[in-house]
Amino acid sequence: MGTTARDNTRALLALGAAAALALTLSSCSSGSGSSGGSGGAKNITLITGVKSDPFYITMTCAAQAEAKAKGVGFTADGSAQWDVSVQRPLIDSVAAAKPAGLLVSPVDTTALTPSLKQIQNAGTKIGLVDTSVTDPSIGITRISSDNVKGGQVAADALAKQMGEKGSVIVISVKPGVSTTDDRIKGFTQEMAKYPGISVIPTLYDNDLPATAASQIQSTLAAHPDLGGVFAGNTNTAQGIATGLKQAGKQGAVKVVAFDAEPDEVTALKANTIQVLVAQDPAAIGTQAVDQLVAAFDGKPVTASIGTTMVAITQQNMNDPAVSKYFYKAAC
Amino acid sequence: MTRSQLPEWARRALRRNEAWTFAILVVLVAYFSISAPGKFFTVYDITQIAVNAAIYLVLGVGMTYVIITAGIDLSIGSVLVLAAVAAGEYTIHHGAAGAGWFTVAVSIVIALAVGAAWGALQGALVATGKIPALIVTLGGLGAALGLAEIATGGQDPSGAAATHLQNSLGYGKVLGIPWLVVLAAVVTVVFGLLLGGTRFGVHTFAIGSNPAAARRAGIPVGRHLVKVYALMGLLAGLGAVMWLASYGTTSIAGHSTDNLKVITAVVLGGTSLFGGRGSVLGTVIGVFIPAVLTTGLIVVGVQQYWQDVAVGAVLVGAVYLDQIRKQTRERT
């Protein structure tokens, strides 16, 4: 998750962040010292990218359960939208509370660095979950899905559905987003291992379902042997499903999409999507809490963890070992 | 053969704005058909181009009226989303995907009513003459989308479209022609005739040519503008119904460029942004040029970004040609 909504006001925000940095540098020198001490209940705060997103809700639920099991306090919040200007006030308010640990899914790779640096300098242990920032000095641990691996999982599952022959195409949102670019990279690399499958150059729909619908239908005209599509996100998958249905090819052309949000699971049941590649937000949440607790206790911490992804199809979706990967809309 | 030897109908056709853009469309179709024999211009391909153009055609018909009055409507994408959300929320609370035909009918009426009401409100503001249409509808663009996001929390609600609606209007066919295309064609013919052959149409042109003269001639300019913008809103509401039927979701984030697409199509079709000239037939051609390009470039295997370049060039070229011919006409 956390892939589509990089916003183009980044430069402006970076400017604002620089101004904030100048302000905060002068105030943070007095904050260090007492918070790393021993004993008492430690507190972890989690701030997610989009509060209402089932991916983050699932992550929050798992983190909360793990925190309870480990006997540390836990609070969670998240941005109303995928927007730096919405998330920053939340992060800044955490600075005032000085928790022992902060888990955060930053919505921008640079703009939030000054705020996070200030919190880290005040003694709070920071873990970056799902998304991260470019400054490597931020955070003691970074936990996210291995997106290249996810692309490979998607390719293998789709190849199997297609009987390992035919053409496949990737229709994604836009170029230049690290997570989706990694997924496409993994997907294309893995597909090269199947001699019977040829990969058609990637198309981008700018997050517009109507564009995706027209693109998939045009691709069908040009490549009658089209057997599979890799959809970049939910909107794209929706457009592709409509396009295929109008062309009378629903089910004949297999669709693989990322994530396992409730409406995607519905689409899987309805056979408009044949494969879902689910991330494991619960594992991200659980491991993040574990890492912070280890840091509190002075134990070694893993700097970077990549969680696995799993392919869900109609055949295995009722298996409890697989259905636990469905994202939750509430704890 | 000189022009004077041509029959009268042919000479009249050549003077029409649409003749030139139609020629471009024919050239495009011929080019793609030759480059990709057996793949382009097949029954399958024509059907899918028409299906994908249907919603933009309905929006384009309304936009033609608005632009002929020398106005503009930037809000259509947001109004479409707002109408879809209103209809979708009703459907969700009355049976969701499994809703019956009565719910489907009510949700359609809701979408049309929301669109028409929003359009009428914007029309009333434009009619005061104190705020330019550009600003009224720019405000409407933000406000309508904002309301839709407030109602849904910014996430597309699931179960917004009834299966009945999707299987009939969305994917159904009559005599092999998708219902979406039939509906768009009916709307185009009805409002094309209304524009070209009735007093309502004459008033629309008169207001765009010279609002002061229209007022002196006794045309109720303000009331007519309200009607024109309400018509645009109504058709955006119809677009919302068609969208729900074919995509099954409200796609809140998926309509931010509808306005530019539709305005481009209308202008490509020879309708003047300065008002007073234009036709629904031209808009039909203008909608199909980008649609043919999208499909054709993918079929031929050319990088898709060329579509934006080609549409941009054709747009500027079409308006340039139009201006040249207009000057020639005025000189003679």
Q: Which domains does chain A have, with CATH numbers?
A: 42-139+281-307 (3.40.50.2300), 147-279 (3.40.50.2300)
In a domain, B203, yes or no: yes
Q: Which of A203, A210, A266 sits opposite B52 (nearest CB)?
A: A210
| Distance (Å, whole) CA A162 – CA B295 | 25
Is B35 among the domain residues?
no
Q: Give B29-33's long-range contacts (Cβ < 8 A, gap of 24+).
A: B29/B292, B29/B296, B31/B296, B32/B292, B32/B295, B32/B296, B32/B299, B32/B300
| Cβ contact A185:A148 at 8 Å | yes
Structural domain contains residue B303: no
Query: Residue B44 pLDDT > 90, yes or no?
Result: no
Answer yes or no: is pLDDT of B202 > 70: yes
Q: Could you tell me if A154 and A230 are in contact, meaning their C-beta atoms sit under 8 angstroms apart?
A: yes
Round to whole Å and give the CA distance between B85 and B250: 6
Q: Which residue has the tokens 């400017």?
A: A15
* B178 falls within a domain: yes
- Please report the residues numbered 140 through 179 in chain B whose beta carbons come closer than 8 angstroms to any beta carbon of chain A: 153-156, 158, 170-171, 178
Q: Closest chain B residue to A246 measured between Cα atoms?
A: B171
In the structure encoding, which two tokens stand for residue B58, read together? 């309905």
> Residue B270: what pLDDT?
86
Residue type, A18: A
Q: What's the first-to-final CA gap in chain A, in angstroms?
A: 18
Q: State the ipTM, two decimals.
A: 0.70
Q: Cα distance from A103 to chain B (closest Cα, Å)?
A: 24
Gap between the Cα atoms of A160 and A171, Å rounded: 19
Tokens 């109303």 belong to which residue?
A80
Amino acid in the structure at residue A17: A
| 3-state SS, residue A31 | coil
Looking at the structure of chain B, the number of domains it has is 1
Q: Say yes or no for a CB contact (<8 Å) between A217 and B295.
A: yes
Residue B310 lies in a domain: no
A247-291: per-residue pLDDT in tens?
Answer: 889 889 999 999 888 878 888 998 889 999 999 999 999 999 999
Residue B118's domain comprises: 55-279
Q: Which helix (H) or strand (E) segment is A255 a member of?
A: strand A254-258
Buried b (16+ CB within 10 A) or exposed e, A227-244: bbbbbbbbbbbbbbbbbb
Kindly state the tokens that stand for A233: 């996100």
On chain A, the residues whose CB falls within 8 A of the CB of B44 are 220-221, 247
Residue A34 pLDDT level (bands cut at 50, 70, 90): very low
Alpha helical stretches, state H, chain A: 10-27, 54-70, 84-97, 113-121, 147-161, 178-191, 209-222, 234-246, 262-269, 281-296, 320-323
Give the range among A240-249, B65-74, B102-111 with minimum mean pLDDT. Answer: A240-249
CB B52 to CB A214 under 8 A? yes
B254 with A209: Cβ contact below 8 A: yes
- Provide the β-strand partners of residue A254: A228
Nearest to A222 among B154, B257, B299 (CB): B299
B295 domain residue, yes or no: no
Q: How far is CA B190 from CA A43, B52, B194, in A?
A: 67, 20, 6
Nearest to A219 among B36, B254, B298 (CB): B298
Length reported for chain B = 332
Does A222 contact B at CB distance below 8 Å? Answer: yes
Nearest Cα to Cα of residue A16 among A112, A134, A136, A133 = A112
Q: Which residue has the tokens 């293998």?
A: A156
In a domain? residue B50: no
Min Cα distance A274 → chain B (Å) is 18
CB under 8 Å to B23, separation ≥6 — which residues? none
> Residue B275 burial by CB count (10 A; 0-12/13-18/19+): exposed, middle or buried?
buried
- How much is the pLDDT for B57? 96
Whole-number Å distance between alpha carbons of B237 and B55: 11
Put simply, the answer to whether B254 touches A263 (Cβ < 8 Å) is no
pLDDT confidence of residue A20 = 44
Rg of chain B taking only CA atoms, in angstroms: 20
pLDDT exceeds cutoff 70 at B61:
yes
Query: Which residue of chain A comes nearest to B42, CA vs CA?
Result: A221
> Is residue A217's pLDDT more than 50?
yes
Contact call for residues A272 and A234 (beta carbons, < 8 A)? no
Model pLDDT, residue A39: 41
A242 touches chain B (CB under 8 A): yes
Nearest residue of B to residue A208 by CA position? B254
Report the alpha-carbon distance of residue A40 to residue B160 in Å, rounded.
50
Q: What mean pLDDT do residues A223-236 have?
A: 89
> Is residue B190 assigned to a domain?
yes
- Kindly determine whether residue B298 and residue A210, on different chains, have CB atoms separated by under 8 Å: no
Radius of gyration for chain A, computed over Cα atoms and rounded to the nearest angstrom: 21
pLDDT at A15: 44
Q: What does the block give as tokens for A194?
A: 């199947």
- Of the candidates A207, A239, A262, the beta carbon closest to that of B247 is on A239
Please write the tens of the pLDDT for every residue from B283-331: 999 999 888 888 888 888 877 778 788 888 888 887 787 777 667 766 6
Grouping H, G, I as helix, E, B as strand and the rest as coil, residue A9 is coil
Kindly determine whether residue A242 and residue B52, on different chains, have CB atoms separated by under 8 Å. no
Beta bridge partners of residue A101, listed in sequence order? A44, A125
CA nearest neighbour of B51 among A168, A214, A223, A203:
A214
The pLDDT, as a whole number, for residue B1 is: 46
B246 near A CB under 8 A: yes
Residue A100's Cβ-count burial label (10 Å; 0-12, 13-18, 19+) is buried
Q: What tens digit of pLDDT does each residue of A53-108 get? A: 889 999 999 999 999 999 999 999 888 777 787 888 888 888 778 899 999 999 88
- With an 8 Å Cβ cutoff, are A242 and B248 in contact? yes
> How many CB pairs below 8 Å do chains A and B form together?
88
